[in-house]
Structure 1
């Protein structure tokens, strides 16, 4: 669409007959450089633009940013002394930070949402205004200390907060009422929707504490989160999605299903797994071990703690010390007069396993005939995550990584990466995740070691392997670790949320620092290339992801109790015990509920506990030598001969079927 010089984008939109209401309403335009512009924007010369509708990702982002302004206006209406932080759009919503005398309450949130809806209904116009100078901006914002700080940052184009105030220029968006009066304004780069009625559906969701500019040394603010959509229907869909996410929250399910806990006596981010959780974890690990053995990995083990010299050699003390637990100074010896006879040594809990594996490689001479050498370890590591980011099992301080390091020759690198990526994807699919894309993290020019050539070779090798997978490849500029680029597997769960799973990194640096060598075909010493690979990331995090993916209804092969026998009366217990013995002989996990509860309550209890198979037995079943199946969804199959039932159960579990069994998909064949 063309916007003639001297006219507004909004005029061009109207002239073109494009929608101004509903999900298809045009809220902004995108210019030839890709920048989003208000509909009030008037180019100095004819401009080609793209109309952006409310129901697109960009359109929703503009709606949400505009809703954040409405939230800030509502807060200052109801809490006049509140000071403004920043209010950006985020995935599926927005937030705004405020400095207030006391935390917001749930009642405050309701009052703020009510006030927002009044503002939205009033149809206030968003009007962009250029502030002539820094001094003028400071004069206008004299009562807003956080905005004044952003004004001082305006010349720093690399500062994230400046995106909120327009980069090199300072702009304010005024809210204009229907009488043409300015009723509120905020320092902001925009763009915004034309007026508040373009925000048809908004909901405030929660309040959290947040530090100004993410720095714990700064004042703690109140962060109000909300969501906004192009229609009430889309908002309702999102709220139902949030409710389902809450029902799937692994922290809630972990308690309800008695899987794991976080005792205060142990410390933040340090989980313990209960017997049921222990079974799931063991099954996850055992299957992974089996697949690694089949793929030619060799199992190693390393201690949880080491002298600081190891991490000095690896470079982790230079680059990663903030993420490590503090040192323990040990082994110092003093004489009777208190003088140091033997100096002590700093020991660290290990944050990663890779330096230990280098020492194993270096422990003896290596030949090219041994390469690629694939080392694997379920290694426990410890990372000092800040308390504000610790979150259930998905962000812990003590974790077990399924860590592998592959040492190979340069000419083996490409084939090894392709094979490795295929192995990773296949194994994740075995656990029930099958919706992937890949992310290529490249060098951070401010934080890297090694030479440009090796980085380029490593990056291109990863790019080629990733592209050969046929999956979407998304760039992540500057996201690499200090020692090498990486490809990460991003998996979408049952709710469409993305989780970073496996990572594959190519490293020329650590083999150099540890002086790793092998004897090549020509008899000369050569340097191997190292590939770092964590498949689950950590067992704990993967456990949390699978819990939410399956909503706690784990596949039968992972379930703590695979089969629960439910007798209708006491005289039917012996029949179920014989079935149980037959299933246990085949390796299945079986229990029988012999409590005094009525049968219907037993069914409810074990369905709530998400047991995949309930076996019911009454008089007719005993007489016929049969059992009846009851599934999680409430469906049943009655009168199945015991031998047929046992064979069907064993087959389902042994083939590691990830679907939840139902009367429709559980096939019982006669023996």
Structure 2
């Protein structure tokens, strides 16, 4: 008699299959088209190969390349294909780690003596990968003992793999994957075979220390990307070209928003006057949005006593990512550059007795924090060593958690709507129950926190997926992933439920029963950080900000030096009206001035010459729209103020 099992699909439907059925066979039973497109599947929440037998009742999801999980599987196998190609092209090459990443994959390698790998080698590596892929080699999974794994990789002379096995892996946890003549240590999952890989591009090479340790040898990191169709690669490369044009570092320099200085220090952005205006505009927008929600804004120091972060638990969990303690020269004290704002806000809460009537207490701060990032990981405004969070910590009674959490979701969605971030997804980040040392707090507290987030999302009709192991060490969180105009994902807003910091700081309030109770703490940041948000906003809009926000709303362009004085008068009158205006008095032809200022994405260009000066007028051009006619200075002032007022009226 056949042993039948029940397979539950994401929509809740259930089908019966014979025990031992694979994900590929399930896909084939649904439709041949699905079977052609599916690349991996999840069984009871674990992503696995399509040929892995399913032996008992299970929930299943089938992933195509268009799914994030599908891309991960596809690019994971592609990393192995890259290594297989390198093994053939560079005899004796040593392999480190080779994971899938957000856009493709990389492999860290150490060529043998006398070998080099540079951009000149990209085409031959790509050709070899495609040659191997066409063989459609099966990717075979095998469970091995630690002893056998060491023996196998020692025989191949793979010293880095042997170190990894010896230091990181234990019996019962080691699996290898083999395709053709190449075998690698790996947990998977992988494609069933390499034939699905149809298009290959090696993107770059860089240096990378073994295990990320600057004291160890430097390896070569080779980045690549692959696709199941050549057309997809062509579209991706076109997207990359557009992304280069939108690069926030390039546009930020052109618009004179921010700069970096080696003498000031790596990863320490300097906000120029126009960038500062942009930041202030964002802050004022958020302040206006928060007024109905009754937040109280504070300012806390940029440093704190080490003991503050020991109490909060941040020092134990994030000490290596923080700048090391500063010792006072004459007193036995240790201070740290502030890595986060929440401990300071806990101290604000505890400064006086609190009653249940005082809650919720909402403490907000545009708080600048400092965290150590390795030099190789710094990237414009998206990875820096100091950044300002639009931070807030809300202290609530346990019965208020869900309502307050929903209110914060509402704020974040309003921010996204304001800036036309229409394509986003929400992620409930949960703890990994297998890694208990990573987190603080009881199982009961974690379960209560996680359920509060789930219920809030359900009641807000927010479709959120869950990710195990992505929680903060003190509590679960809801993260918002935004897709920009080019379809790239960015993590922006976040909300976190925290029962643990109030416990560690012994925070209390007096309840209706006249007894002491522990509040719950909600962490929230709609922007995430001003630096990262500005970077994403620049690339999303290509630097074309809404008029209310843009730091330079108009520029006056005299057609010759003769009219510089009149141009300056125009600028002065408009600034009195509250319009942000500059003058371009360079001794350049007017055509050059127009082109240069359009490159800076200045919304309005005001051209003045003899006729305009004589009549007290300006000739108006709108960015991307051309000539808007001639107006008096006051007419233009009212015109632009009306446009700003209309935009602000539409802000939520």
How large is the Cα RMSD of the aligned pairs?
4.0
Aligned equivalents of 1:5, 1:424: Cα separation in 2? 46
Query: What does residue 105 of structure 1 align with?
Result: 118
Aligned equivalents of 2:61, 2:304: Cα separation in 1? 59
How much does 1:150 deviate? 5.5
1:14-54 deviation line (CA, Å, top 9, x unaligned): 999957xxx99457675977865578x99999x99999766
Query: What does residue 438 of structure 1 align with?
Result: 426
Shift of the 599–364 alpha-carbon distance from structure 1 to 2, 3 Å rule, reads same
Query: What does residue 84 of structure 2 align with?
Result: 73
In the alignment, structure 1 residue 370 sits paired with structure 2 residue 368? no
In the alignment, structure 1 residue 393 sits paired with structure 2 residue 381? yes
Query: What does residue 4 of structure 2 align with?
Result: none
Aligned equivalents of 1:542, 1:26: Cα separation in 2? 36
How much does 1:156 deviate? 5.4
Q: Following superposition of structure 1 onto structure 2, how do residues 489-568 of structure 1 map, counting pairs within 5 Å?
A: 489-568=480-559
Shift of the 609–156 alpha-carbon distance from structure 1 to 2, 3 Å rule, reads farther
In the alignment, structure 1 residue 382 sits paired with structure 2 residue 388? no
Match for residue 426 of structure 1 among 396, 414, 426: 414
Aligned equivalents of 1:505, 1:16: Cα separation in 2? 40
How much does 1:460 deviate? 1.9
Aligned equivalents of 1:589, 1:414: Cα separation in 2? 42
How much does 1:510 deviate? 2.4
Match for residue 247 of structure 1 among 245, 248, 253: 245
Query: What does residue 338 of structure 2 align with?
Result: 350
Match for residue 476 of structure 1 among 464, 467, 481: 467
How many residues align structurally? 625
Shift of the 599–116 alpha-carbon distance from structure 1 to 2, 3 Å rule, reads same
How much does 1:531 deviate? 1.8
Q: Following superposition of structure 1 onto structure 2, how do residues 10-29 of structure 1 map, counting pairs within 5 Å?
A: 18=32, 25=36
SS at match of 2:497: strand
Query: What does residue 10 of structure 2 align with?
Result: none
SS at match of 2:223: strand
Aligned equivalents of 1:452, 1:87: Cα separation in 2? 35
How much does 1:562 deviate? 0.8
Aligned equivalents of 1:520, 1:409: Cα separation in 2? 9
Q: State which drifts further: 387-396 or 563-572.
A: 563-572
Aligned equivalents of 2:394, 2:29: Cα separation in 1? 62
Aligned equivalents of 1:525, 1:308: Cα separation in 2? 28
- C-alpha contact (below 8 Å) 2:498/2:520 kept by paired residues: yes
1:175-194 deviation line (CA, Å, top 9, x unaligned): 5xxxxxxxx66566664464
Aligned equivalents of 1:465, 1:604: Cα separation in 2? 50
Aligned equivalents of 1:475, 1:385: Cα separation in 2? 28
1:98-142 deviation line (CA, Å, top 9, x unaligned): 112566322133442344445556x46446485887666555541
Match for residue 145 of structure 1 among 140, 159, 166: 159
Structure 2 unaligned regions, length at least 5: 1-14
How much does 1:651 deviate? 2.0
Aligned equivalents of 1:361, 1:132: Cα separation in 2? 55
In the alignment, structure 1 residue 606 sits paired with structure 2 residue 590? no
SS at match of 2:226: strand
Match for residue 586 of structure 2 among 595, 613, 623: 595
1:213-246 deviation line (CA, Å, top 9, x unaligned): 5555654321211111122211111011122222
Match for residue 304 of structure 2 among 303, 306, 309: 306
Aligned equivalents of 2:25, 2:359: Cα separation in 1? 67
For the pair shown, which has the larger CA radius of gyration, 1 or 2?
Answer: 1
Aligned equivalents of 1:172, 1:88: Cα separation in 2? 16
Shift of the 156–650 alpha-carbon distance from structure 1 to 2, 3 Å rule, reads farther
1:596-634 deviation line (CA, Å, top 9, x unaligned): 211110111101111111123456666887644333335
Aligned equivalents of 1:71, 1:138: Cα separation in 2? 23
- C-alpha contact (below 8 Å) 1:60/1:228 kept by paired residues: no
Aligned equivalents of 1:61, 1:219: Cα separation in 2? 28
Structure 1 unaligned regions, length at least 5: 176-183, 334-343, 660-671
Query: What does residue 208 of structure 2 align with?
Result: 210
Query: What does residue 82 of structure 1 align with?
Result: 93
Aligned equivalents of 2:184, 2:67: Cα separation in 1? 25
Shift of the 103–646 alpha-carbon distance from structure 1 to 2, 3 Å rule, reads farther
SS at match of 2:180: strand
- C-alpha contact (below 8 Å) 1:60/1:230 kept by paired residues: no
Q: State which drifts further: 127-136 or 523-532.
A: 127-136
Shift of the 546–151 alpha-carbon distance from structure 1 to 2, 3 Å rule, reads same
Q: State which drifts further: 567-576 or 491-500.
A: 567-576
Aligned equivalents of 1:579, 1:585: Cα separation in 2? 10
Shift of the 103–467 alpha-carbon distance from structure 1 to 2, 3 Å rule, reads farther
How much does 1:554 deviate? 2.5
SS at match of 1:555: coil
- C-alpha contact (below 8 Å) 1:26/1:51 kept by paired residues: no
Shift of the 510–652 alpha-carbon distance from structure 1 to 2, 3 Å rule, reads same
Q: Following superposition of structure 1 onto structure 2, how do residues 4-43 of structure 1 map, counting pairs within 5 Å?
A: 18=32, 25=36, 37=49
- C-alpha contact (below 8 Å) 2:23/2:41 kept by paired residues: no
Shift of the 66–295 alpha-carbon distance from structure 1 to 2, 3 Å rule, reads closer
Shift of the 470–615 alpha-carbon distance from structure 1 to 2, 3 Å rule, reads farther
Q: TM-score, normalised by structure 2?
A: 0.83
Aligned equivalents of 1:379, 1:255: Cα separation in 2? 25
Query: What does residue 174 of structure 1 align with?
Result: 180
SS at match of 1:286: helix
Query: What does residue 289 of structure 1 align with?
Result: 287
